[in-house]
Each structure stands twice: as structure tokens, then as C-alpha cells.
A and B are shown apart, each in its own frame.
Chain A
Amino acid sequence: MQEAPYAIEMVNVTKRFPGIIANDHVTLQLKKGEIHALLGENGAGKSTLMSVLFGLYQAEEGIIKKDGVEVKINNPNDANALGIGMVHQHFKLVECFSVLDNIILGDEDTKHGFLQRTQAREKVMALSEKYGLRVNPDAMIEDISVGMQQRTEILKMLYRDNEILIFDEPTAVLTPQEIEELLQIMRNLAAEGKSILFISHKLNEIMSVADRCTVLRKGKYIGTVSIADTNKAELSRMMVGRDVEFAVQKGEAHPAEVVLDVKDLTVPSKVHRNNAVKNVSFQVHAGEIVCIAGIDGNGQSELVYGISGLESVSGGTVTMCGQDITNAPIRRRSVLGMSHIPEDRHKHGLVLDYTLEDNMILQRYFEPEFTNKLGFLRRKNIRSYAERLIDQYDVRSGQGPVTVARSMSGGNQQKAIIAREIDKNPQLLIAVQPTRGLDVGAIEYIHRQIVAQRDAGKAVLLVSLELDEVMTVSDRILVMYEGEIVGELDPKKTTVEELGLYMAGAKKEAKGQ
């Protein structure tokens, strides 16, 4: 029996860059109507392969076939014409446009130069109905949730009648509920005959949604397996080339004295009139990891802003190591021993136009080691300090200390921040979503660093949206819901289901127990 031709087939694709083979005879065969996962660590060559498929790069060897016919893709327009669409990890949306306008952007119907929005709206609503992609077509992108932004991106592809849909790390920015919803949408799309390429390094999601999986490692094609015949351990071995620890290795916590004491903290919201954080009280001891869990937007960010001094609080007190720092300047908190791995590494964590070495000293540049008495920077010391951190924390970059931070990969930017904050030797380490958007290897590394800090007797306050992280890394879980702490859980005694109920606000501990 003749098998149906593949929707897209990339055979023996090789793409070389000077000094490196980014794709070494990679074969990818996407069947019609399947969800095909593309798995690999950062730098495995997934992006290059997709760039070849989109015509951004030309492969030196290998061919691309669509429905069994060889095609030449010289630029993204060719890819579009072939019905290939992609949802990028960082959305390509116009913030101040409505959802509808973003969907039709670039493919507008006009009559005498006027936009024909009515028909477009009907088509969008029909698609939205059909695939369960809930959006409000008139909402501005800047006002809607990340999940809805992503659905807008998906609708953009569907609006253009794309048959082959590529999702690049689509779950990195979503909450657990949104992820479940997205996976369901992907199943619906596949059921309707769309072919989906799902780029990810999250094994749980691949196991739950994909039909087959192709694994790349360091540019090489490792193999394609059917999900039904494999398991997480095998996939991760294929991806990393060794066995990966899923469980974080850590011993018992030995909480000592109180380092951070938050009492009745109230932080106003910038977005709405209510308080983002309402009368929150908790303590973090030396030698323990306390994790703030919760669905994004329940006041976790503002809580951290309040503790770190980025925003002023409207009530309550923050005490660190016995000193009242409620209204202390940020610099004073830092000098007292607070380290902060911020949620948004581009907004707060780095000066992207500065070099790596200048970013490494961002919290310490004023110390005598780096600035002499006359106010001149001691470049030699800065260089050797940066080199030590780069070495010790394995921060990789093109040109070492003089690499511009902007040109570094996300994982290494994050490692640089972690190196800087941990090397400060803090009393209290605040880490907000420290592993967001990173691959398995980097996550493993960062978790080990955090546990090492705890074991060194530091107090760690971790804010995380990842349930796995919450369950495995923390010693104590505090769940935030609508600006309040609604429960304190012991990760050893609780279950993900129970945690989920607290996070969704369905369960709540009575106050004043």
C-alpha cells in the first residue's frame, strides 16, 4: 500500500556556519494531521532548522518536500505561500492594535482603500468558534492576557488558511491552566487535519499531546520516535545524551533564625484601584526555601516589588535581619544582604547595551574593589572579577567579558544574573521565576544553585509559576490568590491537585488559625 506523502518533509538538511554545523543531515517528516514534536536543548539546532524551513537560511545540502513534491523556499513569503505558519515564542503583535486588526494585518481586504473589517470579523469569529480559541476581537493587545495574545497569533495563522502550523516554545509564557487549554486547542487543530510542529523541551507536554517526536542534539539528528512507544526518561536521554535528574537532589532543610519578616504588607496596584497585595504576613528563615506559588497576576510580582523596594508599600512592615527596611532605599537593602533575581531579566536584570563585565558589577560597582577613591572605575579588577564569575558559573558568550549582554542567549543572560546575585553572598535571595524559558540543563543547574544557597544557610524566597518547580525545590509553599496568602502547604505532604485548588481560589485556609 502506498503511504500518503508527508505534509512537509525535510530530508538530510545540512546547514553550516563558519566553524560549526548547525544542522547535520537532519531529517524531519511531518505527517498530515499529526502533532509532531521537535525536541532538543537550546542550541541543538531547532531554530536553524525552522529558519531553513522558513527560507531565512538556505541549506547547503538536503531538500524540502511538500506533499511529496520538492519545493524551493527562498524567503518567508515562499513559506507563507506554501501554507506554513508559525507562532513565535515572542509574539509578533502590535500592542496598540485590536485583536482583529492584528489578525488581518498584512492580509487586509480593502475596498477603495478602506478596510473591510466586517467580513474579516466573521471569518475570525467562525475560526474562533470552530477551534475553541476564545478571543475578544475588539480588545487591545496591551490589555489582554498572554494566553489570549497567543490565541490571537494562532488565529493569525488560521486566518491565512495555513495548513502547517509551527509552535515555537508556546507554553513558556503560560500558566498551567492556559497550557492545558492550548494543548487541547492543538489537539482540535490536528483533528481538523492541520499538521502541527511543536517545538519544545518540556517533556510532560510532549508526552501528553504529540504523536511522534524528533530529537536533535548538538545539530545532529538523533531519531524520531512514536510517543506511544517511549517515555520521558528515554526522550531526555536522547535529548541530553545522558540521564537527567528530574527530582532535585536535596536533603532536609534546617531552618534557623528569621531573616525576612513581612507583616501585614499592602502594596497598591499600578493597574487597578485595588491593592495588589493585601495584608500579607509571612517569614522566611535562614536555611529554607519558601516558595510563593500562584497563577500569574495574583500579586506575586507586586509582593516582590514591595519587599525589594522597587515599589513603595502602602501598609505593613518588612524586616530583614532585624532591621526595618519597609521604606529603605534599594541600595541599602542590597548592602544589607538582599539579592534579587528579577522576574524580567531584560527590564530589570540587565543593562542590555552594557558588556557582560559591566553587568556583572551592577550591584557592586561602587565598592572599593571596583571604584577607587577618586571615583574612577578599576577596570582591571572588574575584568578579573567578571572572568572569575564567567568561569565559576559557566556563563557562555561570544567574546567573554566584553560581549554585549544583548547578544547573549537567554539562558546565559539568566546565568549571568544568577552569578551576580549569588556571588554577592546574600542573607536573603529572592528569585522570581528564575528558570522561565530555559532548557532542562539550565534549569537543573539553577535549581542546584538555589538549593546550595539554602544549604549554605541563606534564606531563599522563590516565586514560581511552574508547578514542578514549586513541588520539587521548595521547603514550604505559600499560595497567593488575589493578593492574599490563602494557604501554607508542605510540599512533601501535599499534591499537585490540592495545590491547584488553592491556586484557583477554590480552597482557602481560614484566617487567624
Chain B
Amino acid sequence: MNKKHESLLRRDSVQTLLASLVCVLGGLIVGYLVLLIIEPSGAFEAIVAVMKSFLRYPGALKMKYFGQVLVRTAPLLMCALSVLFAYKVGMFNIGAAGQYCAGACAALYAALAWHLPWYVCLILGMAAGALLGMLAGLLRTLFNVNVVISGIMLNWITLYLTNLVLGTVKSPSSPFTKSLQSTNPGALMPSLGLGKLFNNEKSVTIAIPLAVIMAIVVWVVLNKTKFGYELKATGSNYNAARYCGMKENRNIILTMVIAGALAGLGAGLLYLTGIEDWETTISSVPGMGFNGIAVAFLGGLSPIGSILSAFFIQYITTGGGNVDLQVYCSQISSLISALIIYLCAFVAFFKFFIQTRLRKADERKAAKAAQIQEGGEEK
């Protein structure tokens, strides 16, 4: 057969890339339209400001803000890895947001109350996320509770628990937790000179390369190991996994544990850089976990693709803060970045659209191939 001449468009990775670009473009257009509707005069400048993000700053300042975008990209990437890992095993880990909270809670509490060094805090954050993931996994296997339902509920439970726990280590004058710099500098992740590259931005630490390494590890585990083979088989066909003697329930719990650990680690990678403190009065779950869903889909559910998409989403989110508040109300920045991010989650939809256009041709090819061989009857 002539599959050597397979057109570029038929390759999965190309389709994903194309669909991702369509989504990004669509998000920007819709964002622009909304700006136009609210206040036409400033719309163009505003959307340009969003798109320019940190690039609008001059010279040295540009590198500093670039660094900050990267610092926030790391936890976003971890949340995306959490979502996509669970997704490969057939579960939608909307609980990544809660696992992220749990990670922040454990990491910050260990740092501020027990004055532990950064690596212990990081591990504790991971453990807290893992525990929460395990809870969802257990509920799924023991009581057949969908992880989406348990995830959403656990998100809120965890948020308020986190506020409660971190309220004990908050600074006396503000709703924020005490700063790591003054309380326990040993809990700040080391920079190893990375900060120097970004105009001495202190928050740039090994968290960034660590997140990228984790993405590669996740890719290797899913694609190269026996463990990944088992997990994907369980996600793709639970009954077949059972039939060939895989421990399907153990696999599901383990998946949620790992997904939770990834999200929890993500929180640690942000809060242990000292770039921000936890606000103990917030009443909404941090968007990081939810944005992770958009990142995972925009990245075509590939760990490597997620590295790029996480950076893009963070870039846009930062850009959203550049909208001129003289012209627009203060919520506009969140609105615009949210619009773009959530349109990005439509990658699967656009990919499906591309595929349906190709599928007819493909199906005929496959039917023909099957008929040459001997099939045809059972599709």
C-alpha cells in the first residue's frame, strides 16, 4: 500500500498542532470581540497588550518579567501533567485544582510552622496531593464514585481546609501567609544561578527545569515502560486489562496517586520560590488546576506539547494584566485570559473537525485494505 505518501495532514501530531493554532487564534478573536463590545475605542491597544505580554517592557525589565512568566509556567505545567496522566488512564482529573491546594498547604505549612528545608517541603506537598488523589481513586474503585464528582467536592473541602491550616501561619497584618524570605529562607528553592539569566529575578529557581524534567519523565513512563503499557490498557479497555490479569483497580488508584502528586508538586514549585504567598481568605479554588486542563488539551494531551502550551497560557494570563484599567473595568484582564484559555480547551473539537474531513477517505482506504485481506464483513 502507498502509505509512504501519507500526507502531512494525516499525522496526528500535525493535526494537533493545527487544531491548537486554530484554538489560539479563535481565542484571541473572541477576546478581541468582547473588548470591542465593551469599549471599542481601546480594544485594539488592549488586545495588543495582551498578546505582547511581558514583551512590552523595555530591556532588562523584559527579562525579569519573562522569568516571572516561566516561574508560573512550572506549576501550570505540573497541573497539566496531572490532568493528562489521569486522562490517559481514562479519568478526568478535575480534582487537580484541589490537589494543587493540598500541595500548597502542606509545603507552606511545613516551611512556615516547622521550618523544614525546601526539599522536604516539596516532598510533603507532593505527598499531600497524592493523598487527595488516592482518596478520589479509592472512592472510584470501592464505591464507583466518578472522579469528576469526588474531584469537584474535594476541591472545595481542600480549599477551606487549606485556608484554615495556613491561617495559623499567616502574617499578623495581612491575609497572606508569612513570607518565606523572612521566616525560613531555607525553604526557598535554590536558584543555582538561574536567576542571573533573568536580570537577577530571585523567584527564578530550579523549579523551572524540574518541571520540564517531570514532563519528560511522564512521557517516558507513559510510552516506554511496562507500567505505562498497563495503565493505558486499563484506561482504554478496563475489561481487557482485567482479562489479562492486570490489577485494574490498583492501577486506577495508583494513577490518581501519581496525578495528585504531580499537582501537589506543582504547588510546591510555585510557593517555594517566594514569588507569592497564600491568601488565606480566598473563596475560590486557584485557577492553576483548572487551567491545567486547558493546557493539557491545548498541548494535544502530550507531556512535551504541554510544555509549550503551558508557557503560552501563562504568557496570555500575564498579558491579561496589561489591559488598560482606565478604559476597562478591573475584571477584564481575567475575563480575556479566561476566554482565550477556555477556547484553547477546544483542541479536541477542532481536531475532530479536521479528522472527520479526512476520515471518509481514510475509512474507504481501511475498508478497502480490509477487503483485500479478507475482512469487510465485520467493521
Contacts and interface: CB of A to CB of B under 8 A. Distances in A.
A47 B226 contact: no
B258 to A, nearest CB: 14
A511 B375 CA distance: 46
A366 B1 contact: no
A352 B378 CA distance: 14
A48 B376 contact: yes
A349 B240 contact: yes
Contacts of B366: 398, 407
Contacts of B237: 347, 350-353
Contact of B376 (A46, A330, A342, A399): A46
Nearest to A22: B371
Interface in A1-23: 17-20, 22
Contact of A377 (B226, B364, B373): B226
A22 B370 CA distance: 11
B243 A340 contact: yes
A511 to B, nearest CB: 33
A344 to B, nearest CB: 8
Interface string B222-253: 00111101101100110111111111000000
A414 to B, nearest CB: 9
A347 B240 contact: yes
A45 B372 CA distance: 9
A89 B243 CA distance: 26
Contacts of A371: 226
Nearest to B363: A407
A354 B1 contact: no
Given A371-B226, A375-B226, A46 B377 contact: yes
Contacts of A340: 243
Nearest to B243: A348
A105 to B, nearest CB: 21
Contacts of A46: 376-377
A412 interface: yes
A411 B374 contact: yes
Contacts of B236: 351-354
B55 to A, nearest CB: 41
Interface string A328-360: 011111100000101000011111111000100
A365 B229 contact: yes
B377 A42 contact: yes
A180 interface: no
Interface string A93-132: 0000000000000000000000000000000000000000
B377 A47 contact: yes
B371 A43 contact: yes
Contacts of A44: 376
A448 interface: no
A329 B376 contact: no
B372 to A, nearest CB: 5
Contact of B226 (A48, A169, A366): A366
A57 B363 CA distance: 12
B3 interface: yes
Interface in B259-276: none
Nearest to A415: B374
Contacts of B368: 17-20, 22
A60 to B, nearest CB: 14
Contact of B244 (A90, A363, A407): A363
Given A351-B233, A407-B370, A330 B378 contact: no
A409 B374 contact: yes
A396 interface: yes
Nearest to B230: A365
Interface residues of B, number: 38
Interface in B322-379: 364-379
B282 to A, nearest CB: 41
Contacts of A412: 373-375
Contact of B245 (A331, A397, A398, A442): A331
A437 B375 contact: no
B376 A409 contact: yes
A45 B374 CA distance: 9
B144 interface: no
Given A43-B372, A350-B240, A353-B236, A439 B377 contact: yes
A371 B232 CA distance: 16
Given A348-B239, A351-B240, A362-B233, A377 B374 contact: no
B260 to A, nearest CB: 21
A371 B226 CA distance: 6
B174 interface: no
B373 A310 contact: no
Contacts of B240: 347-351, 362
Nearest to A331: B245
Contacts of A222: none
B2 interface: yes
A20 B372 contact: yes
A410 B375 CA distance: 6
A11 to B, nearest CB: 22
A225 interface: no
A41 interface: yes
Contact of A17 (B3, B230, B241, B364): B364
Interface string A191-202: 000000000000
Contacts of B2: 18-19
Interface string A39-59: 001111111100000000100
A90 B246 CA distance: 30
Most buried by A among B3, B227, B379: B379
A16 to B, nearest CB: 9
A278 B280 CA distance: 62
Nearest to A364: B244
Contact of B224 (A90, A376, A398, A437): A376
B371 to A, nearest CB: 5
Contacts of A366: 226
B244 A409 contact: no
Interface in A409-459: 409-412, 437, 439, 441-442
B375 A330 contact: no
B171 to A, nearest CB: 46
B374 A41 contact: yes
A330 B244 CA distance: 7
A431 B21 CA distance: 50
B291 to A, nearest CB: 28
A329 B378 contact: no
Contacts of A351: 233, 236-237, 240-241
A227 to B, nearest CB: 22
A179 interface: no
B1 A398 contact: yes
Given A330-B242, A331-B245, A350-B240, A398 B369 contact: yes
18 contacts: A17-B368, A18-B368, A19-B1, A20-B368, A43-B370, A43-B377, A44-B376, A45-B376, A46-B376, A310-B242, A348-B240, A377-B229, A399-B1, A407-B370, A408-B375, A409-B370, A412-B374, A437-B378
Interface of A: 17-20, 22, 41-48, 57, 89-90, 169, 308, 310, 329-334, 340, 342, 347-354, 358, 362-363, 365-366, 370-371, 375-377, 396-399, 407-412, 437, 439, 441-442
8 residue pairs, one from A and one from B, having the closest CB atoms: A409-B375, A410-B378, A331-B245, A17-B368, A330-B245, A396-B373, A43-B374, A348-B243
Given A42-B376, A308-B243, 13 more contacts: A22-B371, A43-B373, A43-B374, A43-B377, A45-B371, A89-B377, A347-B239, A351-B233, A354-B233, A398-B366, A407-B366, A409-B373, A442-B374
